[in-house]
Amino acid sequence: MQKFIDIRGVKHAYKTKNGLLPVLDGLDVGVGEGEFCAVVGPSGCGKSTLTRLVSGLMRPDEGAVILDGQEVSSPRKTVGMAFQNPVMLEWRTILENVMLPLEIVAPGMGRAEKEARATHLLEMVGLKGFEKKRPSELSGGMRQRASLCRAIVHKPQVLIMDEPFGALDNFTREDLWQTMRDLRAAEPFTCILITHDLRESVFLGDQVIVLSGRPARTQYVLDVDLPADRTIDILYEPKAVAMLHLLREQIRIAQGRDGDLH
């Protein structure tokens, strides 16, 4: 049974001065439509390569990345991306930043319609009243909220996030987890989230995939069997705590395979 996002037997290596550096070797990921997949793994294990493969910015050396029944061979308009760096265009207002993907994906759409869509999203993430501000006038957390709006403004089928909350303080991060949860309830999209934060992966994910050390393969898949309307408190309940322990153990194993990390 083919999943909505189906990554099978993917191998990839980068050319470096000292020859080929394999980063992915035997990566298998399956994400159903509307599902939220969190990916964790040791540093430098090729998680970011995964985002570039799914977005079509790169093609794997071997294996296939299939999205909605079609092999991904080039970028497509149905993908949204968010990074650790909010990548705000400083010369645009927050509203104009959020509207950017629409200018590419839907050039025929009227300005009023674009504005309405962007304004609606900004209101959902709590940035009402900041539409006309410049990015430099906002805090890091607010910029990241705007960046999330920009990633989904064109209603992508797939949202790919590469450690979007990595540079934020803990409380801001938890706020944004809840924002993410609410966005998902309002806007259906399939999501791949790369993260270093196990609590984040359990709070947001429907499944958590643990990658091994470099070259990365799929080491472990955890089904997060928690209700969709989670609150932060759930992370302190025995069921979630057990999952966190399990993931922690898997990460330890993943690190062990890559001897030079210790």
Partner 1 sequence: MDRAQKILVPLAAIVIFLVLWEFVVWVNGWPDYKMAAPSDLPPAFWKFHTLFLTMGWQTLWRTVLGLALAVVFGTFLGMVMGFSKIARDGLYPLLVGFNAIPKATLVPVIALIFIGQHDFNTVLMAFLISFFPIAVSVGIGLSTLEPEYRDILAALGASKFTIFRKIALPKTLPEFFGALKVAVTLAFIGTNLVEIVSPHGKGLGALFLSGQTNSDYPLMFAVLIALAVLGIVLYYAVVALEKIFAGWAERSPG
Question: Considering CB under 8 A, how many residues would be counted as binding partner 1?
Answer: 25
The binder of partner 1 chosen from 41, 42, 60, 101 (CB under 8 A): 101
What is the Cα–Cα distance from 258 to 256, expressed in whole angstroms?
5
Interface with partner 1 in residues 193-222 (CB under 8 A): none
CB atoms within 10 A of CB 190: 21
* Separation in Å, CA 27 to CA 23, 64, 68, 81, 219: 10, 10, 18, 21, 9
| Number of other CB atoms surrounding residue 119 within 10 Å | 17
CA-nearest of 212, 139, 206 to 176 is 139
Contact code string over 9-48 relative to partner 1, x by CB under 8 A: ----------------------------------------
Q: Is 103 in the site for partner 1 (CB under 8 A)?
A: yes
Q: Which of 11, 22, 26, 57 binds partner 1 (CB under 8 A)?
A: 57
Identity of the residue, 160 or 202, whose beta carbon is nearer to partner 1 in the bound complex: 160
Using rule CB under 8 A, residue 144 touches partner 1? no
Q: Residue 252: beta bridge partners?
A: none
Q: Which is nearer to partner 1, 27 or 81 (CB)?
A: 81
Q: Is 105 in the site for partner 1 (CB under 8 A)?
A: yes
Give the number of residues written for the chain.
Answer: 262
CB of 147 to partner 1, least distance (A): 9
Q: Per-residue contact track with partner 1, 155 to 194, x per CB under 8 A?
A: -----x----------------------------------
- Kindly state whether residue 109 participates in binding partner 1, applying the rule CB under 8 A: no
Contacts of 206 (CB under 8 A, 6+ apart): 35, 36, 37, 223, 224
